[in-house]
Amino acid sequence: MNFADLNTLRPDLAFIAHWVGERAHVLDVGCGDGAMLRYLESGKRCSGYGIEIADDKVLESTARGINVIQHDMEKGLGLFGDNTFDTVLCLNSLQMMQHVEGLLRDIVRVGHEAIVSFPNFAHWPHRVALLRGRMPVSRALPYQWYDTPNVRCATIYDFQELAVECGLEVLECVALADGKVVKFLPNLRGSMAVFRLRKKAPPAV
């Protein structure tokens, strides 16, 4: 898979790929169909593994040639030691987790850096839907309230606060709309939030 293919398939992933270094060792937590790892391996000469629980997505990842481990992320990342990976990806998966804080701490434990993305619940169409008395349905949140796999709803500001509470350093934070960076009123106009994180260094003695 080349960059143009990834950009056509998922513009948000194409943007995020720029944050991953050449030849990085990568863990993709909730790797889905494996498209991101496939590009990183072929386009940026990265190595690594994907973690996925859904049977159909595991098969799709395997068909792409991805090293995928079928594992429930709610059980943590005890499979891996500290700082095993250069970058840990958790893209559009965090909102499906029951234990968000534990997972965040785990991904910065096993990786030097982490990149996290999730639908921004404060995006203006979501606000309009709520004002109309309806749960939002959009490209970022495509499910109806009764069949959604999402169990958490967060805004950019919410996640910034949680990162601080979890002892994480926010290296970069952007809002995306159709894969493009939103600079003006990002919490209102961005459909997806993307954070680059690492564990805060202990204070100097």
List pLDDT tens digits, range 121-130.
999 999 999 9
Percent of the chain whose predicted confidence (pLDDT) is above 70: 99
Model confidence at 205, pLDDT cuts 50, 70, 90, reads low
Whether 71 shows a pLDDT value over 70: the answer reads yes
Whether 107 shows a pLDDT value over 70: the answer reads yes
What's the rounded mean pLDDT across residues 64-86?
94
| pTM of structure | 0.93
Model confidence at 140, pLDDT cuts 50, 70, 90, reads confident
Domains defined for the chain, CATH in brackets: 3-122+153-199 (3.40.50.150)
Helix (H, G, I), strand (E, B) or coil at 16: helix
Could you tell me if 66 and 38 are in contact, meaning their C-beta atoms sit under 8 angstroms apart? Answer: yes
The pLDDT mean for the chain works out to 93
Q: What is the distance between the alpha carbons of residues 126 and 121, in angstroms, rounded to a whole number?
A: 6
Give pLDDT, residue 4.
Answer: 87
Q: What is the pLDDT of residues 161-199, one digit of tens each?
A: 999 999 999 999 999 999 999 999 999 999 999 999 999
Give pLDDT, residue 139.
Answer: 85
What's the CA dihedral at 140, 144, 148, 153 to 10 degrees?
60
What's the rounded mean pLDDT across residues 29-41?
95
Residue 44 tokens, joined: 């940026």
Distant-in-sequence, close-in-space partners of 99: CB < 8 Å, separation ≥ 6: 74
Integer angstrom CA distances of residue 109 from 10, 104, 124: 28, 9, 34
Could you tell me if 191 and 176 are in contact, meaning their C-beta atoms sit under 8 angstroms apart? Answer: yes
